[in-house]
């Protein structure tokens, strides 16, 4: 005999795991706002089984998803591909919430030596995924080429900076983005700041602070910095998000 209550509960569980309501709230208001319950379920049921929680803890994955849903970028450009965890987060978010964005992930060429070089595993989690483009080269230079070749009349790029975490590199990249893509919003990883005695890599945090001091007040700042590794979103004042296409 069929247990109708059990079947009903099972169907409810399946629906909750794989259907998601509109995560964007009060789109015409000035403050950044999303439905954190919806995004929490999406992260737990969709993303964590694929990417785990390293190097992006739950709170950072929520900020990444929130940024895409709220800001509706036309282009997502990142550097520091590695095996493709961040690119996969972006891909799954766009696919689930109907965000029509090109995803471009840039990593070091094979002949460049670096301790985190993925080699043959580069982009493993996003190979062959529709809308995901893998590139080799310098992140800032390659991103400029990508945007210059776009046929989209209205470009709303979102950059994800997660390459070399030295102060000089992050400062150069952040200044380059602001200069060459004036409408861009920017996510930066490894931005947690602790006092010098911790011996943490505080280059990204210092670079953000210094660049914002010398930049007109065009950005609002949201940060997930309760501990390592930390993530910061710089989003443009007055930004109006696009429409949400529920899928």
Query: Please, are residues 80 and 117 in contact by the beta-carbon 8 Å criterion?
Result: no
Handedness of CA 128, 131, 134, 135 (dihedral sign): positive
List beta partners, residue 233: 187, 222
Cis ω on the peptide bond leading into residue 55 (within 30° of 0)?
A: yes
In tens digits, the chain (247 residues) has pLDDT values of: 677 666 555 555 555 556 788 899 998 888 999 999 999 999 999 999 999 999 999 999 999 999 999 999 999 999 989 999 999 999 999 999 999 999 999 998 775 555 565 668 889 999 999 999 999 999 999 999 999 988 766 899 999 999 888 999 999 999 999 999 988 999 999 999 988 888 887 899 999 999 999 887 789 999 999 999 999 999 987 655 443 333 2
Please state, in angstroms and rounded to a whole number, the distance separating the CA atoms of residues 200 and 194.
7
Cα angle for residues 80, 129, 245 (degrees, 5° grid) = 100
- Nearest alpha carbon to residue 234 among 214, 206, 201, 209: 209
Q: How far is CA 91 from its chain centroid?
A: 10
Query: Please, are residues 92 and 239 in contact by the beta-carbon 8 Å criterion?
Result: no
Spell out the residues 6+ positions from residue 127 whose beta carbon is closer than 8 angstroms to its own. Answer: 84, 134
List beta partners, residue 219: 236
Domains defined along the chain, listed by start: 33-236 (3.40.50.150)
Q: How far is CA 67 from its chain centroid?
A: 7
């Amino acid at each position: 005999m069929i247990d109708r209550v059990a079947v009903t509960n099972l169907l409810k569980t399946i629906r909750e795991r794989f259907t998601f309501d509109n995560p964007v709230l009060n789109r015409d208001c000035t403050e950044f706002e999303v439905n954190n319950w919806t995004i929490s379920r999406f992260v737990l049921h969709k993303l964590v089984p694929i990417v785990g929680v390293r190097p992006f803890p739950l709170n950072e994955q929520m900020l990444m998803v929130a940024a895409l849903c709220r800001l509706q970028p036309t282009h997502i450009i990142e550097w520091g591909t590695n095996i493709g965890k961040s690119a996969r987060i972006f891909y799954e978010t766009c696919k689930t919430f109907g965000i029509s964005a090109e995803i471009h992930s840039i990593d070091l060429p094979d002949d460049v030596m670096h301790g985190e070089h993925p080699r043959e595993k580069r982009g493993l989690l996003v190979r062959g995924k529709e809308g995901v483009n893998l590139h080799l080269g310098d992140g800032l230079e390659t991103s400029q080429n990508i945007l210059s070749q776009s046929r989209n009349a209205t470009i709303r790029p979102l950059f994800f900076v997660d390459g070399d975490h030295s102060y000089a590199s992050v400062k150069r990249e952040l200044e380059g983005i602001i200069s060459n893509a004036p409408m861009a919003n920017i996510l930066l990883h490894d931005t947690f700041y602790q006092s010098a005695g911790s011996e943490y890599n505080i280059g990204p945090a210092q670079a953000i602070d210094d660049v914002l001091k010398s930049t007109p007040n065009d950005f609002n700042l949201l940060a997930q910095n309760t501990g390592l590794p930390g993530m910061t979103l710089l989003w443009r004042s007055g930004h109006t998000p696009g429409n949400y296409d529920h899928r």
